[in-house]
């Protein structure tokens, strides 16, 4: 994706974070905040704090499912997009099996 040389808006930055998570993550391929930040071109001068805020908003969102995992306290969190149809279908099937 080629972004313009104009300053990136907060909305464009959030959309780019969404694109990065959808493109580069899976349950077994998670990214840290620093990894996500590294996908932004340097000339856009996107701050890591802004990326952190965007990811936190997505983790709290019910519209765009992002899961965060931290192996142990003090270690960095890793994130992945958790809304792929196969994963949703698997979750539905697992809930039905658990009810039986």
Q: One digit per residue, pLDDT tens: the chain, 100 residues?
A: 554 566 799 999 999 999 999 999 998 999 999 999 999 998 888 999 999 999 999 999 988 899 999 999 999 999 999 986 654 455 444 554 555 4
What is the reported pLDDT for 92? 46
**Could you give the CA distance from residue 8 to residue 28 in angstroms, rounded to a whole number?**
30
| 83 neighbors 64 (Cβ within 8 angstroms) | yes
What is the reported pLDDT for 7? 78
H-helix or E-strand spanning residue 11: helix 10-24
What is the reported pLDDT for 97? 54
As its CATH architecture, domain 10-99 has Orthogonal Bundle (1.10)
Q: How many CB atoms lie within 10 A of CB 46?
A: 22
What is the reported pLDDT for 2? 54
| 50 neighbors 59 (Cβ within 8 angstroms) | no
């Amino acid at each position: 994706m080629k972004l313009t040389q104009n300053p990136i808006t907060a909305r464009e930055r959030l959309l780019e974070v969404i694109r990065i998570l959808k493109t580069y993550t899976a349950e077994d391929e998670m990214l840290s905040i620093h990894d996500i930040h590294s996908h932004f071109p340097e000339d856009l001068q996107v701050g890591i704090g802004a990326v952190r805020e965007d990811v936190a908003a997505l983790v709290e969102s019910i519209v765009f499912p992002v899961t965060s995992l931290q192996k142990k306290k003090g270690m960095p969190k890793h994130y992945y997009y958790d809304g792929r149809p196969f994963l949703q279908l698997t979750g539905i099937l697992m809930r039905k099996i658990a009810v039986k």
